[in-house]
């Protein structure tokens, strides 16, 4: 591997684990983040995000000096950009963080440097990145203009790791490596070869960008199908979980699980990049997004129908995380549902989330919302609303549920 030093721009859920893994494989890594607190935390060998086993790895590589965090980029043989790509109002992709990252690394480019974009991006962003770099450095040749004669190589290599399993999946998942030219892709494959045990598949940058968006759109569309089937089953008074379990006994059917909505930073966002880029063609993808986005509201309505029968209803809300067995509350439909129930004064809300010690900011200062333990919530509640399929809830003593109204959005007690 000819990359003795790598700078990773953005020390979030993807950048920090990537920086740490590279550092454990003998690379001298500079971690760059605009947030000074993040930089300080990492330099102390600690982490600011939630990911199993990551802190131990970061602690090891910062104390050995292999990983150093800073606020401003410095020269390196390769730059990996892993910054957020949110959407704006109207679901248009916001690539301004990538543009800022390009401006910050441009002064440090020289002939032979490799620039990799890992952020989930609309089709064509890697070529835009190359153009932004070229504008800032007219003295260098970039691949969108000069092809294989470029001085700097520019590549798209999407992250594909599942929160909660990042350290394993970073190493073992296959990677798609999309170069603006074939040589760009080959050089990036050599860099990832430092730690990758999965296979690398080389292609062009636009194909790689669309492949990444297609993966998350696939999952979103399939979750929307499950959510729609659950609604249909409900309307027939049939148990949706049983329907799906039975349908999945077919050798070529694998329906996903219905739920209270789609959370996290990826699946509820990325499909919009396809819809925005090709609105006339992306029809199923748009409807799927709308179906999944409508789910939290439907759960709120169902709870309110039941709570209307009590004078002072007590509602146990089990789970706040965006999915099972993690403490990540980002973009969680469960948080949205509890907030809506509080806003509509549906009753006293006893929230149980075994993975957190205090309510998240969005739920603080609401007089009708309290964080309690599972036993207390179930004992006091008239209505038990299951929002996340955490291990602890699957193991609940079913006798606690007797004589309660149970709304199980995850099919845990099916």
| Residues engaged in binding ligand SAJ (CB under 6 A) | 120, 159-163, 215-216, 219, 223, 256-257, 259, 262-264, 266-267, 322-323
Instruction: Between 76 and 224, name the residue whose CB sits nearer to ligand SAJ.
Output: 224
> Residues 6 or more apart from 301 whose CB is under 8 A from it?
none
Q: Least distance from C-beta 334 to ligand SAJ, angstroms? A: 9
Q: Least distance from C-beta 323 to ligand SAJ, angstroms? A: 4
Instruction: Between 120 and 205, name the residue whose CB sits nearer to ligand SAJ.
Output: 120
Q: Least distance from C-beta 219 to ligand SAJ, angstroms? A: 4
What's the CA gap between 156 and 362, in Å, rounded? 35
Instruction: Between 202 and 256, name the residue whose CB sits nearer to ligand SAJ.
Output: 256
Q: Least distance from C-beta 253 to ligand SAJ, angstroms? A: 14
Cβ atoms of 143 and 128 within 8 Å: the answer is: no
Six token digits for residue 74: 């410095």
Q: Least distance from C-beta 277 to ligand SAJ, angstroms? A: 17
Q: Least distance from C-beta 229 to ligand SAJ, angstroms? A: 12
> Residues 6 or more apart from 169 whose CB is under 8 A from it?
160, 161, 162
Instruction: Between 70 and 233, name the residue whose CB sits nearer to ligand SAJ.
Output: 233
Instruction: Between 24 and 389, name the residue whose CB sits nearer to ligand SAJ.
Output: 389
Question: What residues does 9 pair with on adjacent strands?
Answer: 32, 81
What's the CA gap between 11 and 20, in Å, rounded? 10
Six token digits for residue 327: 């403490």
Q: Is 266 in the active site?
A: yes
Rg (CA), the chain: 24
Instruction: Between 127 and 270, name the residue whose CB sits nearer to ligand SAJ.
Output: 270
Instruction: Between 17 and 313, name the residue whose CB sits nearer to ligand SAJ.
Output: 17
Strands of the sheet containing 314-318, edge to edge, are 369-371, 348-352, 314-318, 383-386, 405-408
Instruction: Between 61 and 288, name the residue whose CB sits nearer to ligand SAJ.
Output: 288
Q: Least distance from C-beta 348 to ligand SAJ, angstroms? A: 26
Q: Least distance from C-beta 269 to ligand SAJ, angstroms? A: 9
Question: How far is it between the farthest Cα atoms of the chain?
Answer: 75
Which of 266, 295, 323, 378 is an active site residue?
266
What's the CA gap between 40 and 124, in Å, rounded? 35
Which of 157, 184, 212, 378 is an active site residue?
212
Active site residues: 212, 266
């Amino acid at each position: 591997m000819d990359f003795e030093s790598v700078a990773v721009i953005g020390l979030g859920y993807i950048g920090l684990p990537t920086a740490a893994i590279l550092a454990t494989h003998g690379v001298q890594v500079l971690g760059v983040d605009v947030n000074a607190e993040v930089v300080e935390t990492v330099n102390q060998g600690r982490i600011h995000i939630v990911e199993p086993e990551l802190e131990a790895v970061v602690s090891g590589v910062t104390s050995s000096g292999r990983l150093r965090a800073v606020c401003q980029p410095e020269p390196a043989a390769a730059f990996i950009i892993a910054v957020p790509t949110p959407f704006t109002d109207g679901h248009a992709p916001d690539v301004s963080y990538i543009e800022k990252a390009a401006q910050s690394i441009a002064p440090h480019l020289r002939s032979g440097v490799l620039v990799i974009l890992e952020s989930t991006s609309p089709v064509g962003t890697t070529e835009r990145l190359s153009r932004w770099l070229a504008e800032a450095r007219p003295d260098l040749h970039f691949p969108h203009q000069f092809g294989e004669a470029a001085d700097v190589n520019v590549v798209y290599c999407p992250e594909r790791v599942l929160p909660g399993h990042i350290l394993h999946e970073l190493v073992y998942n296959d990677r798609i490596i999309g170069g603006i030219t074939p040589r760009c892709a080959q050089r990036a494959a050599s860099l990832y070869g430092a730690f990758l045990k999965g296979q690398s598949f080389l292609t062009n940058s636009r194909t790689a960008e669309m492949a990444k968006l297609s993966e998350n759109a696939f999952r979103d569309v399939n979750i929307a199908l499950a959510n729609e089937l659950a609604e249909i089953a409900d309307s027939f008074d049939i148990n949706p979980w049983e329907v799906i379990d039975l349908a999945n006994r077919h050798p070529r059917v694998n329906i996903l699980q219905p739920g209270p909505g789609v959370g996290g930073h990826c699946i509820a966002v990325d499909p919009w990049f396809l819809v925005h880029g090709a609105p006339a063609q992306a029809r199923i993808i748009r409807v799927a997004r709308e179906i999944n986005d409508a789910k939290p509201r439907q759960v709120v309505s169902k709870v309110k129908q039941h709570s209307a029968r009590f004078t002072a209803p007590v509602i146990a809300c089990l789970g706040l995380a965006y999915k099972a067995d993690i403490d990540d509350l980002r973009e969680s439909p469960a948080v949205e549902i509890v907030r809506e129930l509080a806003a509509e004064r549906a009753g006293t809300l006893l929230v149980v989330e075994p993975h957190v010690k205090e309510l998240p900011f969005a739920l603080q200062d609401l007089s009708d919302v309290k964080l309690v333990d599972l036993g207390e919530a179930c004992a006091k509640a008239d209505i038990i609303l299951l929002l996340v399929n955490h291990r602890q809830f699957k193991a609940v003593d079913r006798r606690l549920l007797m004589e309660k109204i149970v709304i199980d959005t995850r099919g845990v007690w099916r």
